[in-house]
Structure 1
Amino acid sequence: MNYKKIIVGVFSLSLLALSVLGCSNGEKETSKPVAADKEIVVGVTPGANGEIMEFFKGEAEKQGLKIKVVEFSDYITPNEALNNGEIDINAFQHKPFMENAIKEKGYKIVDIGKTIIAPMAIYSNKIKSLDEIKDGSKMAIPNDPTNGGRALLLLQSAKLIKLKDNVGFSPSVQDIIENPKHLQIFELEAAQIPRSLNDMDFAAVNMNYAVNAKLDPKKDAILVESKDSAYANVLAVREADKDNPQLQKFVQLYQSEAVRNFILERFAGSVIPVF
């Protein structure tokens, strides 16, 4: 019997087993850089972000950049998909939301450029102005910390509530110190809020979901966030890809005059380019 061959075979199998164990027990392999000829997969949410990206896709292809647009129905999955390498870039969130997601989930993502400001607004199927808000009225706000906080800051700007000092961009309902109209505030999934308008007296709706629900902020809103809002939307990528030439080209082409003009013409001021 050739013991030398047996020993070599066992040793090779051991190395293979260790290799398999290393792959299964270790962290996921980091995604490879986006190659020059690779299709860039971008994640968006419905409404303005999706419409703009579909227009941009056509413009980018004229410059030799291949893009696939993937639409997500919520605000959580696009960052998970990006962090896990399922998409290459996303365009749906403002900076405070991204920073909160990084803090809570430990995502290794960064922003590499600004896109739009989509002002939050308050809508109602029951009243036409803030003056008609009655004592004990029911209101819906998004249930994620940054957009919920954004809605509360909007209410404070209208003097409907008062928040604690120094609450930053993510106050919660627990930070309300004055509520003179005794508003009942319900925290709901942002995507569900437009459908809750018949059950609520009024609600704070993110612009992309408002557009998707055929709500016109200029005609239908009873209060619109200031254009000076700090909530500018960003393009986010994985930290490892922040200097990737193809993604840098993506940003450069997105922040073009053609895309800017499309936004201004299509949304007539309800969505504002910030580049």
Structure 2
Amino acid sequence: MKMKKSYVVTSALILLFTLALTACGSGSNNGGTKESKANTPAKAEEPAKKTVLKIGSAAVPHAEILNFIKPKLAEEGIDLDVVVFDDEGQLNPALKEKQIDANFFQHVPYLDSVKGEQGYDFAVTTKVHVEPIGFYSEKIKSIDELKDGAQIGIPNNPSNEYRTLVLLQQKGLIKLKDGLTTYEATPKDIVENPKNLKFVEADVPTLPRALKDLDGALINTNIVLESGLDPASALFREDADSPYANVIVVRSGDENRDDIKKLDAALTSPEVKKFIEDKYGVAVVPAF
């Protein structure tokens, strides 16, 4: 009888001990789950992806202006990748072949002179600056000193050749035939040449080096800057209202892209205008 009672008591104690362990284990698991949830760090938000905008450009002043606006565009989520082309003649083919998103090196008359022949389907989005073409000489200090038969260097590409001849006409040195409306002309289109000026047609980058052999040359400002010539030493130059503003060019259809619009807005801001005026003076003139 005593054994049976003892057995019952022992069984009851074992049952109570088992229930206690189960309760403790259950509480520990629940508590552990709650604590785990509370202490799990919040998932870090992934940084917003930036849009890469690849722009092909000439070195000076184009790339310098683009690099100036890089921080501003970075704030707007655009990573501006500026690619300088040593051979500017490859900038339009690179745009056509989608190697770049836009280019910045040319004016509209130049683009018009090549796009038909090359089959470019491009759009111009904004004007940025004018690089007034100027007359430079190591031999004379004034155009009044130009002698009969003086040799004058001029660019040999159609649009810039026309541009220089028009400038010489404005200064009364020559007269072109009437009816030239396509931004193209050569010395053959001169109908009056009182000083019998001799024109040497050459690649623009070679003109600064050729000054020692010429009486003067008409040279694009970007070439002047790259060569180390003082832009202020020009005997005369184009006015600021020149139609030869350098522009941003994209493939047709891309002009409405958000990143292109932000690029245009940044390039025509008051900050860029001040940067151009402070850095380049008379050599580069804002066109906005």
Note the 1:161-240 alignment, pairs <5 A. Answer: 161-168=174-181, 169-218=183-232, 220-240=233-253
Question: Secondary structure at the residue paired with 1:76?
Answer: helix
- The answer to whether the aligner puts 1:56 opposite 2:104 as a matched pair is no
Aligned to 2:280: 267
Aligned to 2:167: 154
Could you list the per-position Cα deviations for residues 130-185 of structure 1 after superposition, in whole angstroms to 9, with x for gaps in the alignment?
A: 01111111111111100111011111111111100121222222111111212111
Distance 1:74 1:182, change over 3 A: farther
d(CA) in 2 for partners of 1:189, 1:199: 15
**Scaled by the length of structure 2, what TM-score is found?**
0.79
Note the 1:17-166 alignment, pairs <5 A. Answer: 37-166=50-179
Question: Secondary structure at the residue paired with 1:180?
Answer: coil
Structure 2 unaligned residues grouped into runs of 5+: 1-48
How far residue 48 of structure 1 moved from its aligned partner, in angstroms, is 1.5
Letter in 1 for 2:251: R
Instruction: Report the identity percentage.
Output: 38
Count the aligned residue pairs.
239
Could you list the per-position Cα deviations for residues 81-129 of structure 1 after superposition, in whole angstroms to 9, with x for gaps in the alignment?
A: 1111111111111111111121221111110111001111010111111
Question: Secondary structure at the residue paired with 1:248?
Answer: helix
Q: 4+ residue runs of structure 1 moved beyond 6 angstroms?
A: none
Could you list the per-position Cα deviations for residues 233-264 of structure 1 after superposition, in whole angstroms to 9, with x for gaps in the alignment?
A: 11000113121111111111221122111111
d(CA) in 1 for partners of 2:59, 2:244: 18
Given that 1:73 and 1:191 are in contact with CA atoms closer than 8 Å, whether structure 2 keeps it comes out as no
d(CA) in 1 for partners of 2:156, 2:87: 12
Question: Secondary structure at the residue paired with 1:93?
Answer: strand
d(CA) in 2 for partners of 1:225, 1:121: 7
d(CA) in 1 for partners of 2:90, 2:204: 13
Structure with the higher helix share, 1 or 2: 2
**Scaled by the length of structure 1, what TM-score is found?**
0.82
Question: Secondary structure at the residue paired with 1:171?
Answer: coil
Could you list the per-position Cα deviations for residues 31-83 of structure 1 after superposition, in whole angstroms to 9, with x for gaps in the alignment?
A: xxxxx734211111122222212212233223321111111234421111111
